[in-house]
Amino acid sequence: MHIKRYRVTPGRPFRRSGADPDDHGGFKNEADAFERTEAHIARLNPLQERLYAEGKRSLLIILQAIDTGGKDGTIRHVMRGINPQGCNVTSFKAPTPEERSHDFLWRIHRAVPAKGMIGIFNRSHYEDVLVTRVHGDISRAEAGDRFREINAFERELVQNGTTILKFYLAISKDEQRRRLQARVDDPQKRWKFSTGDLAERRYWDKYMRVYADACSATSTKHAPWYVIPANHKWYRNYLVAKIVAATLEKMDPQFPSSRGPSHIRVK
């Protein structure tokens, strides 16, 4: 399946109705996709090692989704072969008092991956144009201003050597219900359940609208959005692994050339 199919075209409105969360790319089932998924995941470690050794550029992966959308699972499954020394995961919760005393991008800039690193944002600066809009903390006009700030911020990162991938993990409302119920029913997953998830579920339609607005306004050539069908976790993992691996291969990081004498023999 060509990954461009899932890329939000810059300058064109994104309509959530055009993305099928149940899409599985023509694979019959998880077993049918297993070998290809594992092959893409296997490509990541040597590419990440070259990126780390080169030390000149970085990769930022942004994961956004509605509650139970699969952000944690994507990180756990797709990035399991990556050397932890070369990868940082940042989870953004509700802003602290200190963070609220600064502009909304302040805490984000501090977490941007250093050169040579892969950074993963579990939620991100997009919370400040999603949750805030759903709950009426900012207006549509204020969101427009923030979209422009985000585009400028991401452009600056790209100009300074950071490649950006943005994934919106799309699930259906019925699938969210099933996943929430599974958390309630499983004692080992019950700790992940929050009654706040049920409260937010009432705003489902609003969330779908603001996600569409955000993807439309901020999918750019330098920092594109990919809408990943995520009802099937295995297909979500396949697509994200394929896109991340393809992006790193396009970056083509190189080991530094050796400057030392080649005739040395260690005794």
CA distance 71 to 161: 25
* Res. 261: pLDDT tops 90: no
* Whether this model's pTM surpasses 0.85: yes
pLDDT tens profile 57-104: 999 999 999 999 999 999 999 999 899 999 999 999 999 999 999 999
Domains of the chain: 3-251 (3.40.50.300)
pLDDT of residue 17: 66
Q: How confident is the model at residue 259 (pLDDT cuts 50, 70, 90)?
A: low
